[in-house]
Each structure stands twice: as structure tokens, then as C-alpha cells.
Amino acid sequence: MLRMESVTRHYTLRGRKVRALENVTLEIPRGDFVSVVGPSGSGKSTLLLTLGGMLSPAAGRVMLDGQSVYELTSEDRARLRRSKVGFVFQTFNLVPYLSALENVQIPLYLNGMAPAEQTRRAASLLEQVGLGDRLDHKPSELSVGQQQRVALARMLANDPAVILADEPTGNLDPETGETVLGFLEQLSREGRTVVMVTHDMRAARRARRILKLVDGTLSNGRHPSPRAG
Amino acid sequence: MRLGTIVWREMFERRNQLFTSFLAILLGISVIVSVKNITVYSEKAVARELDALGANILILPKSASLQDYYGSDVQEDVFPEEYVARLAGSDLEGLDNLSPKLSMPVELAGRRFTLTGILPRNEFQAKASWQGAGIFTRPLGCGAVDIPGAVAPPAQETLVRRRVIDRLGEADALVGADVAGHLGVTASDTIRILGKPFTVTAVLPQTGTVDDSRVFAHLHEVQRLAGKGPVINAIEIVGCCDQISRGLVQKINLLLPEAKVVTVAQIVDTQIRTNRMMSRLSLLFLGIIILVGGASIANYMYANVFERRREIGTLMALGAGSSVVLRMFLLKALLLGLGGGIMGYALGTVLAVILGPRIAGVPVLPILWLAPAAIGIATVIAVLASYFPARRAARLDPTLALQEI
Ligand SMILES: Nc1ncnc2c1ncn2[C@@H]1O[C@H](COP(=O)(O)OP(=O)(O)O)[C@@H](O)[C@H]1O
Ligand SMILES: [Mg+2]
């Protein structure tokens, strides 16, 4: 279970205080699929990073499976991220000088898996996303859709319970975007918690629940009426 | 995959960016290595020259000059052999291979040669009053040099060149190459000098010096033949450069006011000056390479961290703690240092071997111990210069790093 308790986060930019999150409280049960919508600059990415143990809040707590994330040491928090959290980025953030296979190996390496085992698991993950014949390709040698699939395989490498996706369809054509959304739905059905940030209402409606963020504040958490898909 | 895989791939992929700082450390290290390499060999060369002269301090009668001495080494004037005892019994430091000599002209088979009396080492040791004076505690041949590749001549000949030999019987003689050639004698033949028979214990190899036309015999036998009593006309001393520069000559002068003390001053002086200059040069280059190489690496590393901030953020999101990120950049620095050190050593050695003979006029061979030194210096510089950039990477704010464009 993922919970935010009165989380506040500000940035200071050239001496000015910028509000990113203001007293946000929310609870996401295990296996839920939640989308977060809101205008640009409303704090969506900040919310996601805070949920994922990447950004400590100025006030409040973030609880993951009963553990207060920011009361851990930073190394323990890193361990928590690599065992429980999978991030999906709008621009995929593949490491440009590593092959598809090596990109997927990163989280496995970080988790201390032996090299031979890493290679086996990474290859099988890429196979699952249909890239079994692209193992040695660099990101620059892959299409945008293929890059996103590598990123998804990498995100799944350590079998995370919580998936945090920041505009996962923002850079994709509608068709590939559709594939990614279907993928997230499937992961949610498998019992993983999925939080997806998007400004595309059509994508947002694929979730079980929509949270609206305006100027760092959660406005309401409503259930979309007839669930599409 | 390991951390090394990530580091290596990144370095290889972006080798062009790496080039300048790698070049800085490579060139810096090779300059240091080649200067040091040449210095060592030029020191050896000078030391070898000194060694070839056999002595660098001479005690002569007041009337003699250094030129006379090296020209023929036969003087009319003499002084008492007792001077040797005075020197040996003194507490002067830096005296080695104290060697009294008496030379006199002799005619052998119609040609003039020089008969030189020397005192073998065992006679020094036999004299109780000279023991414990510290003369022979030093290994024989202070300043003697081993040149790799040059074959060491047989012991006896080497020792004669230094005017100190271990053992020489009263009826034994060592014969210079010219003398042996002229007389047609070889080892174990007998020759007569001034009516006295001597057994040739060895024929000395050609040296191209006055030694070739010399016959060495026991000092006391030569004194008998000369008939002037227990006198000598030179004491040769191998003094250590250090002590010479600290006034050893003046001290001997005080001890033996009736004699003339000269040093092969110019050679000693040149050596000291060259060595000092070269070691200052090494230090200067070391300073430059630390500043320039270090600054260049630090600069490159900061730029590299900035350029890779998104990648670092990604690694953190994938579960890398700051220690992994720190290690990643330090490992890169280590590889950079190792590469620069190894290749700098190789390049510097090649430069020294090629340029040494031209710059310093000495043959130069590779020095193995410079390799660990070069690699060590390069690695320390690279790692130290990268520490702050690496720490910045480790403390990077992931939100900045992951901000979508
Ligand atoms: N590293 C940062 N430094 C300063 N201000 C920031 C930083 N990251 C985000 N902000 C500001 O915080 C607010 C929320 O940002 P963000 O969470 O990225 O919003 P969103 O993802 O909804 O566009 C914005 O006003 C943004 O400009
Ligand atoms: Mg955003």
C-alpha cells in the first residue's frame, strides 16, 4: 500500500519559493491503477518522485508497505526503490551507450545478481516485450516504440510492486501509446500498483481512479463512470 | 554486467571528450618519466666517470700539480707513508678506498715504464691501529655503478683500476697491457725489475690510460727498490660527493698541512649541479602535471557529470544509491589514471631512450621501477581531481536530473 500523509514540497528558484506540493494526502491500495492529471507545472512529476522515494518532502510522510520511506537512510531508500519501485519516463531515459540488453541489466546488476543470470533474465524480459532480436542494439538504433518497450522491460526487471509512470505516452504515436496503456492495465491486473501521470484525459480514463492536481493541491479523487477497456 | 562495464562503455563511447584530459595526464607522466629516466642514467654516467678516474681526492706533495699527476704520475717529491695512518686514524667521514702509491720510472727491455707500488687491502686490515676507523666498513667502491648490459670486468682488474686490491704478495706484479705486449709475458710468467724477480699474477686489460704502461707491485717492495725509505708520492681517496661538497678537502688540509690536497673538483661539481638541476626539473614537471593534468581532469569530470545528470538520475531511479554513483565516477578516474600512467610510462621511456643520448649524451635504458611510480602518480592525480565531481554526481538532485524537457 502506498500512502502520502500531508506532504508538502517547495522549490526555491532564484530566491523565489515555488509551490510544487501543498499538504497532499492520498492513499493508493495495492493493485490499484491511478492516474494523476493536471496542468503543466501543477506538481505531477514532483508527486511521482516523492511517491517513489526520489525526493524527500519538506513536511509529511510517505508510507510504502508500512515503511516510512524518508525515514530510511538514503542507501536503504535506494534498496527499496530497486526492489519495489519501477519508474517509466516520458523520454524513456535509456542509457545511450548501453545496448538494450545492458539497459535491462542495470537494475539486476544493482540488485546484486550474478552477470550470467542477469543476461538470461534481461534477454527473457526483452523477449516478452517482443525485442528478442534487438538485444545488442543501442537505443539510437531502435524506433521510439521499441525504446519505450526496452524501458518497460528494464522497469520490470526487478519485479516491482509499484509502478510509477510519468507521461508514459507523451512521446508516442497513438498506436504505440495504446500498447503501453494496455501494458500498464495488464500489470495492474497482475496485482501491481500503477500510478500514471498524464495530461491526456483519454489516457487517464483507462485508470480505475483519476486524481486531479492543481497548483500542488489535490482537488478530488473521483472514479471515472464507465471504465473503458 | 558490472560497474566496470558501465564505466568502460561510457568511456569508449565518448572517447573524444576524454581525449584532452587523457592527453594532459599522458604527456605529463611521460615527461616526468623521461626526465627521471635520463637523470638516473646521467647520474650513473657521471658516477661512472668518477669511478673510472679511480679517485676523486688526491693527496700529493706540495710541489705537484693535478695535470702532472694524471699525465705521468711520476714525481720526484715524496712524503712519508705515515700520512696514511694519520688519515685512517682520524675521524673524518666520507673517505673510502684510501690508497697510498709510490711510482718510479723503470726501464724494461729498452722501454721506459712506470713501476707503481700499491698497498693491498689485507695490509690495511692487518694494522690494528687502522681498524675501527670506519674506512673499510663501506662496501668497496663508493660511487661504483652497475650498468645493466655492460659486463663487469674480472675482479682483480677492476680493483686495480680503483687502486685497491685485496691481496698482493711481495713478489707479485700486475702488468699493464702495453708492458705485457712489449715484454711478451702472460700470467704466471716471471719478470725481472731492477734485478728483482716478480711473478706476473695478472695482465690488465687495455684501458687507454697510463695504466697500460704500468707495472703494479707491492708498495713496500717498491719502496725497497726506490731506496728512499717508507715514503709515497700520492694517496688516492675515493671520497663521497656529499662529504666533498661539505668541506672534506679543507678538513684533510688541516690534518695534513704539509701535503697538497686536490679534488677532481670540476667533475664532482658538474655532477652535483646536473643532478640538482634535473631533480628540480622533475619536481617542476611534477607540479605542472598535478596542476594542469589535475585541473584538466577535474574540468572534464565536472562537464561529464553535468552532461550525464539525466543518466545519473535514471540510475538512481533504478535503485542506485549515491555510493554506486560515486564509485562509478571514481572507477572511471582510476581507469583514466591507470591508462595515462601505463601509456605515459611507455611513451616517456621511449622518449628517454631515443632522446637521452642526444640531450644528456648518455645511453639510456628503461627503468622498471618508474612504471609503478608513474602509474601511482597518475592514478592518485586522476582520482583526487575527480573526487569532487564524483561527489557532486552522487549528491545530484534527481528531480533536476529527471526533469522532462
Ligand atoms: N528542480 C526544480 N527546481 C525549481 N523548481 C522546480 C523544480 N522542479 C519542479 N519545479 C517547479 O515545481 C512545480 C511543479 O513541477 P512539476 O512537478 O514538474 O510539475 P508537472 O510535472 O505537473 O509539470 C513547477 O512550478 C516547476 O516549475
Ligand atoms: Mg512533469
Residue B338 phi/psi, 5° resolution?
A: -60, -50
Residues B101-111, mean pLDDT to the nearest whole number: 89
Q: Which three cell numbers stand for residue B101?
A: 702509491
How many Å apart are CA B304 and CA B382, to the nearest integer?
Answer: 14
How many Å apart are CA B82 and CA B86, to the nearest integer?
Answer: 6
Residues A28-36, mean pLDDT to the nearest whole number: 95
The whole-number pLDDT of residue B277 equals 80
**Residue of B89, B15, B87, B70 whose CA lies nearest to B210:** B70
A34-83 pLDDT per residue, tens: 999 999 999 999 999 999 999 999 999 999 999 999 999 999 999 999 99
DSSP conformational letter for B202: E
* Residue B24 C-alpha, separation from nearest chain A C-alpha, in angstroms: 25
CB atoms inside a 10 Å sphere around CB A92: 23
A208: enclosing H helix or E strand? none
Residue A9 phi/psi, 5° resolution?
A: -145, 130
CB atoms inside a 10 Å sphere around CB A30: 12
Of B75-89, B176-190, B202-216, B338-352, which gets the smallest average pLDDT?
Answer: B202-216
The whole-number pLDDT of residue B141 equals 38
CB atoms inside a 10 Å sphere around CB B4: 13
How many Å apart are CA B38 and CA B367, to the nearest integer?
Answer: 10
Place A156 in a pLDDT band, splitting at 50, 70 and 90: very high
This model of the complex carries an ipTM of 0.93
Q: Are B367 and B37 in contact (CB under 8 A)?
A: yes
CA of A41 to the centre of ligand 1 (A): 5
User: B312 vs A151, A193, B115, B331, CA distance in Å?
Assistant: 16, 25, 84, 15
User: Residue B338 burial (CB < 10 Å; 0-12/13-18/19+)?
Assistant: middle
Q: Are A218 and A26 in contact (CB under 8 A)?
A: yes
Identify the closest residue of chain A to B316 by CA–CA distance: A78
DSSP conformational letter for B152: P
pLDDT at B81 over 70: yes
At position B302, the amino acid (one-letter code) is Y
A181-229 pLDDT per residue, tens: 999 999 999 999 999 999 889 999 999 999 999 999 998 654 444 444 3
The whole-number pLDDT of residue B68 equals 59
The whole-number pLDDT of residue B346 equals 97
Instruction: Assign residue B175 a region (left: φ > 0; alpha: ψ between -120 and 50; beta: otherwise).
Output: beta
Instruction: Assign residue A92 a region (left: φ > 0; alpha: ψ between -120 and 50; beta: otherwise).
Output: left
- Give, in degrees to the nearest 5, the angle at Cα A69 between A83 and A25: 120
Q: Are B245 and B90 in contact (CB under 8 A)?
A: no
Domain residue extents for chain B = 3-44+273-403, 56-263
**Which residue among B5, B322, B398 sits closest to A54, beta carbon to beta carbon?**
B398
The residue among B188 and A103 whose pLDDT is bigger is A103
Most B CBs within 10 Å, among A9, A44, A50, A87, to test the B interface: A87
CA of A78 to the centre of ligand 1 (A): 22
The whole-number pLDDT of residue A229 equals 37
* Residue B309 C-alpha, separation from nearest chain A C-alpha, in angstroms: 11
Q: Are B113 and B177 in contact (CB under 8 A)?
A: no
Place A159 in a pLDDT band, splitting at 50, 70 and 90: very high
The whole-number pLDDT of residue A170 equals 86
CA of A43 to the centre of ligand 2 (A): 7
**Residue B186 in 3-state DSSP?**
coil
Place B124 in a pLDDT band, splitting at 50, 70 and 90: low
Place B383 in a pLDDT band, splitting at 50, 70 and 90: very high
Place B157 in a pLDDT band, splitting at 50, 70 and 90: very low
Q: Is the CB of residue A50 below 6 angstroms from any atom belonging to ligand 1?
A: no
- In chain B, residues with a C-beta closer than 8 Å to the C-beta of A93 are 310-311, 313-314, 317, 402
Q: Is the CB of residue A158 below 6 angstroms from any atom belonging to ligand 1?
A: no
Of A44-58, A85-99, A108-122, B93-107, which gets the smallest average pLDDT?
Answer: B93-107
B23-37 pLDDT per residue, tens: 999 999 999 999 889
* Residue B374 C-alpha, separation from nearest chain A C-alpha, in angstroms: 31
Write a three-state SS string for B93-114.
Answer: CCEEEEEEEEEEEEEECCEEEE
Are A54 and B317 within 8 A, CB to CB?
yes
Place B352 in a pLDDT band, splitting at 50, 70 and 90: very high
Of A178-182, B194-198, B400-404, which gets the smallest average pLDDT?
Answer: B400-404
At position B248, the amino acid (one-letter code) is L
**Residue of B222, B227, B231 whose CA lies nearest to B80:** B231
Are B318 and A83 within 8 A, CB to CB?
no
pLDDT at A111 over 90: yes
How many Å apart are CA B212 and CA B174, to the nearest integer?
Answer: 11
Residues B120-135, mean pLDDT to the nearest whole number: 46
CA of B285 to the centre of ligand 2 (A): 51
